[in-house]
Chains A and B, each alone.
Chain A
């Protein structure tokens, strides 16, 4: 293909893309002027914020309690096994390390697969 023909094709493609972008922009601008969904009044927003903040505080307290209970259970188990069953304590430690390696490997492989799919 000659150089001029190539240039002409690239120019034509550029013009086509610009035209498509302009059409899309014009249509989306028109779309924005149509009231498909109404904006609620000020009261609704105030209520939304109050309810949501209350819910998040409650959720935080629940999560913190659960965390503290779990931490207490895990710590007591570890201390008990360390004192009463040292062999079982070592097995638990090895299992924890093996699980961490396995889980990290799985996550990395999944991320790579997702990246390959996206590109």
Chain B
């Protein structure tokens, strides 16, 4: 069944249409959240919150974008809200722990924790989200601005500063690791 048809049925309250939509988009959503949060537990939790929110707000989905884009937008909003609620210092410490957790998960699967991933994990989550949305998922600055609820100019400067920080980290490869960029 096509996505549009599924969305139409979901709007009428069809349970199986909802579960088919979620089943089809869950891997993409979870992988996006893993990259942004750098924490498998937090990513799973946010993915479930996103699905719950989309169930509640399905009548607001206008079908102009893909359903997956809408889910990514909701999850980004939830992630940013969650982050803003915490105090800056606590958030930074948690970020460090998240990076270490993910590194442990990668190590246990005998996968390399590269310098680029390490540099990304040290960025502030706002910068990381902006870079991932722009350069990995290919969204425009305007679209990212809407998702992060900031101006396109702010997104542009976050992407630029984030890339500069990652480049510096990569240039310093092998030297003493630096403190995170906030």
Contacts and interface: CB of A to CB of B under 8 A. Distances in A.
Contact of A16 (B52, B132, B167): B167
Interface residues of B, number: 44
A20 interface: yes
A32 B106 CA distance: 12
Interface string A18-30: 0111011111101
B52 A37 contact: no
13 contacts: A21-B163, A23-B116, A25-B135, A26-B116, A28-B35, A30-B111, A30-B114, A37-B43, A46-B15, A48-B51, A52-B52, A52-B55, A56-B56
Contact of B48 (A17, A23, A36, A48): A48
A36 B31 CA distance: 9
Contacts of A56: 52, 55-56
Interface of A: 16-17, 19-21, 23-28, 30-32, 34, 36-37, 39-40, 42, 45-46, 48-50, 52-53, 56, 118-119
Interface string B147-182: 000110110010000010011001000000000000
